[in-house]
C-alpha cells in the first residue's frame, strides 16, 4: 500500500507521509475502514503522475442517516486480541442522526508486546497506538451535501535491529503522528454536479535511539505539512477538474534524511467514460496536465545546495 508509483487516498483525499520503507506504512486505522477501492487505467488521471501504479482509496463507513424519521443515538464496542505478542485492542463508537445531520465518533487503542517465533522472542518489537476520528455531515433533499471529518493517527513502534545482541533494552523506536482535517461538499448545478474536497494534514515521524553515551536522542525528526484542494465538475460519465497541493517539509536530528523544502503543484484534468448501448463494452479516456515547483533549502550534510525546480507534465 505504498511506494512512489502507488497513491493512497483516505476518504478520497491523498495521504502525504514518509512511507518509503516496509517500516512505515500509510496512516490508516483499519478498524474504521468500510471498503477499499483499487483504481487503475485512464481513471488515474484524476489523481496525478504519482498514481502511475494505481490508486488505493480507503473508504470509511457512511455517516448515519435519520431518513426522515426520528433522531437516534447508538453505541458500539469492540475488543480484539492476539496471543503471539499479547496484543489487545479495545475500541468504541458513538454515532447518531437527527434531521439532515449525521455524526460519528470513533476511537481505538492498540498495545502489543514483543513478537515470538519458534526460535524465540524478537526483542524490541512491541508497540502502542491510539487512533480516533470525529465526523459530521449534512444532506439536503436538493442533492447537496457537506461533511467535515477530523482524524488522528499516532503511536510508538519499536524497531527490530538486525545485529542487536540478545536481550538488548532501549532499542530504537519510531514515533508516528498524523492529524487531518477533511471538508467535502457537493451540489447540483443544472444537469451537472459540482464537488469540492479540501484537506489539511500534519504528519510527523521521529526516530529515537541511544547514542554513543547511552543517552536517548532523536536520530531524525521529520514534519510534513500539506494543504490540498480539488474541484470537480461531473456530468454522466464526464469529469473535469482542478487540483492544487501546497507542502512544507522540515527535517532535523542527527541523521540527515531529506532537506527542508517547499512544494507547490497544480493540475487540470478531464476524464470520459462511455458505454455502448448493450453495456458490454466501456471506453475510458483521460487527459491531464501538471505543473510542479520544488524549492529545496541548502543542506551540507546531504550535499544539497539551495535549488528551485519547476516543470510541467502532460
pLDDT tens per residue, range 97-150:
999 999 999 999 999 999 999 988 888 889 999 999 999 999 999 999 999 999
Rounded Cα–Cα distance for residues 35 and 55 (Å): 14
This prediction's pTM:
0.88
Q: Domain ranges in the chain?
A: 7-62+73-313
What are the pLDDT digits (tens) for 208-265? 987 666 677 888 999 999 999 999 999 998 999 999 999 999 998 888 788 899 999 9
Contact 185, 196 (CB under 8 A): yes
How far CA 100 is from CA of 16, 141, 221, in Å, comes to 32, 9, 43
Rounded Cα–Cα distance for residues 91 and 77 (Å): 6
Rounded Cα–Cα distance for residues 301 and 299 (Å): 6
What fold is seen in the domain 7-62+73-313?
Answer: Maltoporin; Chain A (2.40.170)
Residue 262, judged by CB atoms within 10 A of its CB (0-12, 13-18, 19+), counts as middle
Contact 270, 260 (CB under 8 A): no
Residue 98: what pLDDT? 95
Rounded Cα–Cα distance for residues 245 and 234 (Å): 21
Highest-confidence segment of 35-39, 166-170, 190-194: 190-194
- Give the model's confidence band at 163: pLDDT under 50 very low, under 70 low, under 90 confident, else very high: low
Quickly count helices (H) and strands (E) in the chain. Answer: 0, 18
In the predicted structure, residue 196 carries a pLDDT above the cut 60? yes
Give the three cell numbers for residue 290: 501538471
Amino acid at each position: 500500500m505504498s511506494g512512489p508509483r502507488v497513491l493512497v487516498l483516505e476518504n478520497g483525499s491523498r495521504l502525504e507521509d514518509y512511507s518509503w520503507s516496509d517500516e512505515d506504512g500509510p496512516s490508516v486505522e483499519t478498524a474504521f475502514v468500510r471498503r477499499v477501492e483499487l483504481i487503475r487505467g485512464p481513471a488515474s488521471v484524476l489523481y496525478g503522475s504519482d498514481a502511475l501504479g494505481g490508486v488505493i482509496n480507503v473508504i470509511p463507513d457512511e455517516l448515519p442517516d435519520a431518513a426522515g424519521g426520528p433522531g437516534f443515538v447508538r453505541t458500539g464496542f469492540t475488543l480484539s486480541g492476539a496471543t503471539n505478542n499479547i496484543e489487545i485492542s479495545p475500541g468504541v463508537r458513538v454515532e447518531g442522526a437527527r434531521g439532515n445531520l449525521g455524526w460519528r465518533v470513533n476511537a481505538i487503542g492498540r498495545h502489543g508486546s514483543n513478537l515470538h517465533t519458534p526460535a524465540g522472542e524478537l526483542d524490541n518489537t512491541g508497540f502502542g497506538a491510539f487512533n480516533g476520528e470525529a465526523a459530521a455531515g449534512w444532506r439536503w433533499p436538493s442533492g447537496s451535501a457537506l461533511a467535515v471529518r477530523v482524524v488522528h493517527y499516532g503511536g510508538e513502534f519499536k524497531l527490530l535491529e538486525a545485529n542487536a545482541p540478545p536481550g538488548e533494552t532501549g532499542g530504537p523506536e519510531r514515533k508516528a503522528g498524523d492529524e487531518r482535517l477533511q471538508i467535502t461538499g457537493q451540489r447540483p448545478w443544472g444537469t451537472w454536479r459540482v464537488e469540492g474536497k479540501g484537506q489539511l494534514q500534519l504528519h510527523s515521524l521521529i526516530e529515537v535511539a541511544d547514542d554513543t553515551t547511552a543517552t536517548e536522542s532523536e536520530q531524525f525528526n521529520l514534519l510534513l505539512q500539506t494543504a490540498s484542494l480539488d474541484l470537480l465538475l461531473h456530468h454522466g460519465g464526464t469529469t473535469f477538474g482542478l487540483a492544487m497541493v501546497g507542502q512544507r517539509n522540515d527535517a532535523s536530528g542527527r541523521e540527515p534524511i531529506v532537506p527542508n523544502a517547499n512544494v507547490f503543484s497544480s493540475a487540470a484534468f478531464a476524464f470520459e467514460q462511455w458505454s455502448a448501448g448493450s453495456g458490454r463494452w466501456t471506453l475510458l479516456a483521460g487527459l491531464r496536465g501538471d505543473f510542479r515547483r520544488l524549492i529545496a533549502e541548502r543542506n551540507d550534510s546531504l550535499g544539497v545546495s539551495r535549488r528551485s525546480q519547476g516543470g510541467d507534465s502532460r
